Amino acid sequence: MDDNKKIDNIIEGRLRRAETFKPSGNFTRGLMFKIIDENKLVLEESKQNRIAKYVIGSFSFFVIAFTIIIGIVSGSRPVTKTAGTFSIEPTIETSNNLLNQFLSYIQVFFNKILEILGLSISTQTVGIVVGLIIAISLFMLADKVFVKGKLKSR
């Protein structure tokens, strides 16, 4: 206990002998400007977060609507319905078939381009590279929108 009292006395004595400084006349005004700027940055950040939520929500809605519309338009096989039931399986199957056809067309297109260039890469490799490019670009977009936006505001 004596050591703690000695340390407290030393600190207290140094604080009493410390010089006091009076802030300049512009300090309060500058502080108010900083507070106003910080409030503006917080509002901008909340707007960006709201916009990002709307973008993600609208993209999700678009994907769901696209899947359902493709299934309805493509004329899926007739379904025998029982009263009170709703089946979305034919729509999903048709959508998956059309998506697989679309992806196979893209793979054939890239294979032909690679053949013209004299390169030989399997379709699986192209799929992996495209998937990596999409994942990296989505990560960079999320980093830019969310992380760096929050760091700027702080």
**What pLDDT digit, counting tens, does each position of 22-31 carry?**
777 788 888 8
Res 147: pLDDT: 66
Average of per-residue pLDDT values in the chain: 77
Name the residue with tokens 């939520």: 53
The C-alpha atoms of residue 114 and residue 130 are separated, in whole angstroms, by: 14
Structure confidence at residue 42 as a pLDDT band (50, 70, 90): confident
CA torsion sign for 122, 125, 130, 133 is: negative
Give the pair of three-digit tokens for residue 105. 């067309």
The answer to whether the beta carbons of residues 79 and 87 sit under 8 Å apart is: yes
From residue 55, alpha-carbon distances to 49, 59, 62 in Å are: 10, 6, 10
